[in-house]
């Protein structure tokens, strides 16, 4: 049997900071090939991706990523960030939680399943090295390659860490949309002693961000909490106190539910900008970047399959949630029904990121049960 904790350690020791492959996908390709998976590298640009299939017919898919965020201040770590050190039942290292343990768990489950109880169908694994970065050449490239080559998944499970505090606590059946809005307000520079001779863009920006941050976008929908807007930057490159600057910028981040689209929110933001421009007699420019629309996989056979397996293995009924940030499920949902379940994600992206070793084994057991029930 494949030890998912040992496989997690092997993956952590691969320095796969986005977009570096670091040997992680090469390692997985070797392991999967040894039990009969047909593996294809689907690299694009600087990004490495792996597609693996075993069998034909009815297809269960797993999706995950082996890339990790940078370690930050190495001196702040108490362990080697890529050493996979074990302390008091926890394995430490960048990616231990997000999400090399999740990948190790579903790879180990799939390898053992096809070796010991070959299913009457097929298993597909899509593993990318570009989830933590721009995410333009990762799962997107894999799905485009699949479409071109006639490859499909009937359903897909992402192994992202979904549980806030306890193993089995939460699964994801959708995600909020995410977008950034960039505002630039231009007035007229002048001397601070003669404000009437200038057009100060700062009061205009202050009014704009106050209006945006106090606006109620909605009160939530059937499967989603209320949408949110956060002002994340206000920048004015002016160190002189006797100058009224000509220009200031700000950025807001929006996380939105299925009451909105990126386009509808862009229109609303533009309306707010136009109002400020008129009120203060300044120029207000708006640019938006939409990283993903909201989506939902309504409770169905797939979510029940996952929830039942989680409940049996953990004695907890997972909450079907749409909370949190974005994930590659936003791409997979265009291909097939998709849900997410993984272990506790408390320390992801932190210094001394770590995973409880017992949870890695438990996650493999959950994935194994899901496969067994799906193909029964």
Does the annotation count 281 as an active-site position? no
What token pair was written down for 137? 């050449």
What token pair was written down for 10? 């092997």
User: Quick count: other Cβ atoms within 10 Å of Cβ 112?
Assistant: 18
What token pair was written down for 59? 């297809």
The backbone torsions φ and ψ at residue 292, rounded to the nearest 5 degrees and listed phi first, read 180, 145
Instruction: Give me the catalytic one of 10, 21, 29, 67.
Output: 67
Report the alpha-carbon distance of residue 72 to residue 95 in Å, rounded: 13
The backbone torsions φ and ψ at residue 329, rounded to the nearest 5 degrees and listed phi first, read -60, -25
The backbone torsions φ and ψ at residue 236, rounded to the nearest 5 degrees and listed phi first, read -135, 115
User: Quick count: other Cβ atoms within 10 Å of Cβ 318?
Assistant: 24
Instruction: Give me the catalytic one of 131, 132, 137, 356.
Output: 131
CA distances from 269 to 210, 224, 246, 253 (A): 13, 21, 22, 12
Does the annotation count 131 as an active-site position? yes
The backbone torsions φ and ψ at residue 268, rounded to the nearest 5 degrees and listed phi first, read -65, -45
User: Any idea what DSSP says for residue 244?
Assistant: E
User: Any idea what DSSP says for residue 243?
Assistant: E
Strands (E), the chain: 38-41, 49-55, 59-65, 86-87, 90-92, 122-128, 155-158, 170-172, 174-175, 177-186, 190-191, 228-235, 243-244, 247-256, 283-292, 295-296, 319-321, 338-340, 354-356
| Active-site residue set | 67, 131
């Amino acid at each position: 049997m494949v030890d998912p904790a040992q496989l997690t350690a092997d993956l952590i020791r691969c320095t796969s900071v986005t977009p570096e492959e670091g040997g992680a996908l090469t390692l997985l390709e070797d392991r999967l090939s040894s039990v009969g998976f047909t593996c294809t590298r689907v690299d694009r640009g600087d990004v490495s991706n792996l597609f693996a299939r075993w069998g034909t017919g009815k297809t269960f898919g797993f999706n995950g990523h082996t890339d990790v965020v940078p370690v930050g201040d190495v001196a702040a770590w108490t362990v080697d960030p890529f050493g996979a050190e074990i302390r008091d039942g926890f394995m430490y290292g960048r990616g231990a939680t997000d999400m090399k343990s999740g990948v190790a768990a579903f790879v180990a489950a799939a390898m053992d399943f096809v070796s010991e109880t070959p299913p009457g169908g097929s298993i597909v694994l899509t593993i990318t090295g570009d989830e933590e970065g721009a995410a333009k050449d990762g799962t997107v490239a894999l799905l485009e390659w699949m479409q071109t080559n006639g490859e499909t998944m009937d359903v897909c499970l992402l192994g992202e860490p979904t549980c806030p505090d306890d193993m089995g606590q939460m699964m994801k059946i959708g995600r909020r949309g995410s977008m950034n809005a960039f505002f630039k307000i231009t007035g007229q520079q002048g001397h601070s002693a003669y404000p009437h001779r200038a057009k100060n863009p700062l009061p205009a920006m202050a009014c704009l961000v106050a209006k945006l941050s106090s606006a109620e976008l909605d009160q939530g929908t059937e499967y989603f909490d209320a949408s949110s807007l956060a002002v994340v930057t206000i920048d004015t490159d002016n160190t002189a106190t006797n100058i009224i600057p000509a220009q200031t910028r700000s950025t807001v981040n929006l996380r939105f539910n299925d009451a909105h689209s990126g386009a509808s929110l862009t229109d609303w933001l533009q309306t707010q900008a136009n109002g400020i421009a008129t009120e203060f007699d300044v120029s207000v420019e708006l640019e938006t970047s939409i990283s993903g629309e909201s989506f939902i996989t309504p409770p169905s056979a797939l979510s029940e399959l996952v929830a039942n397996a989680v409940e049996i293995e953990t004695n907890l009924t997972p909450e079907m949630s749409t909370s949190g940030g974005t994930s590659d499920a936003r791409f997979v949902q265009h291909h097939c029904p998709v849900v997410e379940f993984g272990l506790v994600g408390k320390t992801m992206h932190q210094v001394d990121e770590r995973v409880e070793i017992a949870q890695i084994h438990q996650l493999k057991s959950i994935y194994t049960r899901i496969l067994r029930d799906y193909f029964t």
